[in-house]
């Protein structure tokens, strides 16, 4: 009788163990299927958001302007035209000149409608940064905040504040004494 009880207990524990293994395998398989489903959804959503637009020379694009480079009333985007394509990078131009950086497709969005800036209208001889372009296109003159990070008292011509002929302010440097123009004059 004891032998029979031990055999029954072993069979029950084997059955419980088998059930546990099967449940664990079912849970793992469900998790795998869920991950595959999530990957598919992620790829579909990414493809929708970053629709790979085929940009060509002459297409108008929008460049998002960082908050630090624009004033409160300035546009959030700059309208530009594709001037040149090198691999997967785009050289862009605006009426004020050529932007001196190359952009990837994910940094741009294609402007809808008829192109308003043409390649022939871009001043080819002048290269400008995006910040300069935003300032030139601004109604109010740009974000208007200059900041230098000079460590030597703003005595060299590398100081942004000295170049702009303005006095350094609390944004520049709070621990170093400023000797910039016009205080030193």
Model confidence pLDDT, tens digit, residues 113-150: 888 888 888 888 889 999 888 888 877 666 666 678 78
At 185 the pLDDT is: 43
What is residue 93's predicted lDDT score, i.e. its pLDDT?
A: 93
Q: Does residue 117 sit in the same domain as residue 181? A: no
How many structural domains comprise the chain? 3
Q: Is residue 55 part of a domain?
A: no
CB 116 within 8 A of CB 60: yes
Same domain, 121 and 179: no
Tell me, yes or no, whether 33 and 5 share the same domain.
yes
Residues 120 and 152 both lie in one domain: no
pLDDT band at 37 (very low <50, low <70, confident <90, very high): very high
On average, the pLDDT of the chain sits at 82
The answer on 77 and 42 residing in a single domain is no
Q: What average pLDDT does this structure show over 17-32?
A: 93
Residue 39 inside a domain? The answer is yes
The answer to whether 68 and 143 have CB atoms below 8 angstroms apart is yes
108 plus 39 within the same structural domain: no
Asked if 154 and 185 sit in the same domain, the reply is yes
> Residue 157's pLDDT is what?
80
Query: Do 89 and 158 reside in the same domain of the chain?
Result: no
Nearest alpha-carbon partner for 156 in 171, 178, 175: 178
Q: Of 23-27, 44-48, 111-115, give the lowest mean pLDDT range.
A: 44-48
pLDDT of residue 14: 80
pLDDT at 141: 62
**100 vs 141, higher pLDDT:** 100
- The answer to the question of residue 54 being in a domain is no
With respect to residue 64, please indicate whether it lies within any of the assigned structural domains.
yes
| Residue 111 located in a structural domain | yes
pLDDT given at position 148: 80
Mark whether 150 and 131 lie in a shared domain. no
Which domain does 151 fall in, by range?
146-185
């Amino acid at each position: 009788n004891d032998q029979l009880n031990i055999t029954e207990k072993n069979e029950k524990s084997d059955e419980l163990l088998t059930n546990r293994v099967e449940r664990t395998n079912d849970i793992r398989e469900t998790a795998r299927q869920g991950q595959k489903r999530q990957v598919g959804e992620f790829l579909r959503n990414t493809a929708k958001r970053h629709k790979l637009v085929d940009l060509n020379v002459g297409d108008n694009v929008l460049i998002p302007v960082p908050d630090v480079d624009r004033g409160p009333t300035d546009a959030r985007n700059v309208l530009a035209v594709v001037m040149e394509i090198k691999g997967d990078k785009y050289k862009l131009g605006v009426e004020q000149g050529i932007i001196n950086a190359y952009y990837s497709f994910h940094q741009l969005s294609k402007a809808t409608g008829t192109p308003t800036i043409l390649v022939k209208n871009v001043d080819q001889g002048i290269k400008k940064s995006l910040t300069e372009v935003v300032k030139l296109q601004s109604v109010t003159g740009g974000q208007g905040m200059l900041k230098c990070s000079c460590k030597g008292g703003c005595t060299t011509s590398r100081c942004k504040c000295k170049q702009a002929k303005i006095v350094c302010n609390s944004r520049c440097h709070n621990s170093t004494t400023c000797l910039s123009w016009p205080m030193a004059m």
